[in-house]
């Protein structure tokens, strides 16, 4: 791993921890039992452009931030960021564009977040309809933010090209 990748990955990890800690109440949306913090997926989505290991590390950072701020159920949901980040990063390595990778990992993200809450006593409806669909909406909003941030920062950071394969 290059120093540049470690530096950008460290900054994204710091953001993934900071977003729930600093903005959990401000950017938080709660529709019980679903909750979302807008922009919380953006650091891991951007980390997918660096490498699979960076995406996993940033996803773990997100889980730590949510564990500190909101407890184990939300932290378990946030731990899923490492899994979908890895899959998305591998797709980008194989030449898929950033938007295509973000769209492809949406169902993975939603299903994993629904599955991970079931051991905490969530029934099928609350897990798959409320959490799953809520996650799909949240993922879509954060994907749009991540694409906008990518276009804004790419001249500086020189991340992977956005349109390599559709």
Q: What is the pLDDT of residues 103-159, one digit of tens each?
A: 999 999 999 999 999 999 999 999 999 999 999 999 999 999 999 999 898 787 776
In three-state secondary structure terms, 28 is strand
Mean pLDDT, residues 36-48 taken together: 96
DSSP states of 29-96: EEETTEEEETTTTHHHHHHTTT-HHHHHHHHHHHHHHHHHHH-HHHHHHHHHHHHHHHHHHHHHHTT-
For the chain, the structural domain boundaries read 3-157
pTM (predicted TM-score): 0.92
Cα-trace Rg, the chain: 15
Tell which CATH architecture fits domain 3-157. Orthogonal Bundle (1.10)
pLDDT band at 166 (very low <50, low <70, confident <90, very high): very low
């Amino acid at each position: 791993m290059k120093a540049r990748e470690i530096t950008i990955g460290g900054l994204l990890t710091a953001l993934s921890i900071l977003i729930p800690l600093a903005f959990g109440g401000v950017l938080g949306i709660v529709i019980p039992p679903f909750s979302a913090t807008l922009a919380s997926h953006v650091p891991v989505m951007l980390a997918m452009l660096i490498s699979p290991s960076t995406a996993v590390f940033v996803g773990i950072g997100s889980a730590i931030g949510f564990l500190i701020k909101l407890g184990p159920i939300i932290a378990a949901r946030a731990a899923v960021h490492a899994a979908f980040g890895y899959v998305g990063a591998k797709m980008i390595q194989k030449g898929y564009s950033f938007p295509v990778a973000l769209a492809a990992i949406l169902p993975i993200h939603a299903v994993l977040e629904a599955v991970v809450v079931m051991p905490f006593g969530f029934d099928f409806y609350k897990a798959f309809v409320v959490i799953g669909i809520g996650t799909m909406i949240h993922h879509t909003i954060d994907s749009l933010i991540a694409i906008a941030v990518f276009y804004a920062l790419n001249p500086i950071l020189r991340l992977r090209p956005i349109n390599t394969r559709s």
